[in-house]
Amino acid sequence: MIELRDIIVHGLPPFFIGACVGSFLNVCIYRIPLGKSVVTPGSRCAACGAGIRWWNNLPILSWFLLRGRAVCCGTRIDFRYALVEALTAGLFLALWRCYGVTAPWLAVIYMVFVAALVVATFIDFDYYIIPDRITLGCCVAGLSLSAAAPELHGAVSWSAGLLRSAAGLITGGGLLWAVAVVGRRVFRKEAMGFGDVKFLAGMGALLGWQAVVFIVAVSSLAGAACGIMVMMVSGWRRELRIPYAPYLALAAVVWVLGGWRVMAWYSEFLIGNR
Ligand SMILES: [Zn+2]
């Protein structure tokens, strides 16, 4: 019974907070690409503009209680709203289980970071762009948080944290920038969006250059695998566009949730075999 109580006490708060944050992220995903404020006005029906009462706006639950239809006008509500809320809730719970006890501040920083990843992912799905507000925001936040909390990079002094953050930013931005430039020369079209370049630079600023290496490897493998599957299903149409941000975001989440251990183990393995 102690275990069940443990799960409720330590698991429910981050899950609940994540679901509420996810509800706000839905607003961000919808409004940021339209250039609207994410704060005002309050929640409105996307179809008829009627205000939404809080009891019809409960994260995850409301979609099921309302059976996927808006109260005001009966318009179908995309299941994705509930999915984004459940996803954010699950990610917050996982982050808290990883860092909550040992480094609660890191857990909070990673929660904000993962929230930005969720927004970037779904905006890229919808529009094939990643807004500067998110990518450049990650760069600035990554640099300043690394100075304020150098333990993000396993450093002690603020200057060491900032230095490692800058190294990560330059590695991430530089690597994809090179891919973008070479890709444009070789394929004579946009192979890599500059949103992706800025996005990986921001990830590098927060997570360091080792994370950049991991994220590039994992995201390109995952992207290639999914791309081949999508092309097989859709009958090998060559003009198909596949957003890259979701794979970058997925790889970054894997890194934060323990991929860094795999990387540390792997580099030890390489050194040991030399
Ligand atoms: Zn409506």
- Nearest alpha carbon to residue 107 among 115, 119, 99, 116: 99
Average pLDDT for 129-153: 95
CA of 120 to the centre of ligand 1 (A): 26
Q: Which of 1-5, 115-119, 161-165, 240-244 has the weakest average pLDDT?
A: 1-5
Q: Which single residue is written with the structure tokens 């990554």?
A: 142
CA of 76 to the centre of ligand 1 (A): 9
CA of 128 to the centre of ligand 1 (A): 27
pLDDT of residue 120: 97
CA of 125 to the centre of ligand 1 (A): 24
CA of 34 to the centre of ligand 1 (A): 19
CA of 70 to the centre of ligand 1 (A): 6
pLDDT of residue 185: 85
pLDDT in tens, 187-245: 777 767 889 999 999 999 999 999 999 999 999 999 989 888 888 887 766 666 778 99
Selected residue with higher pLDDT from 14 and 4: 14
Q: Which of 32-36, 203-207, 245-249, 270-274 has the weakest average pLDDT?
A: 270-274
CA of 174 to the centre of ligand 1 (A): 46
Average pLDDT for 62-88: 94
Dihedral (C-alpha) 123, 126, 130, 131: value to the nearest 10 degrees?
-70
Structure tokens at 249: 């975001």
CA of 171 to the centre of ligand 1 (A): 47
Average pLDDT for 123-141: 95
Question: What is the CA 265 to chain-centroid distance, rounded?
Answer: 25
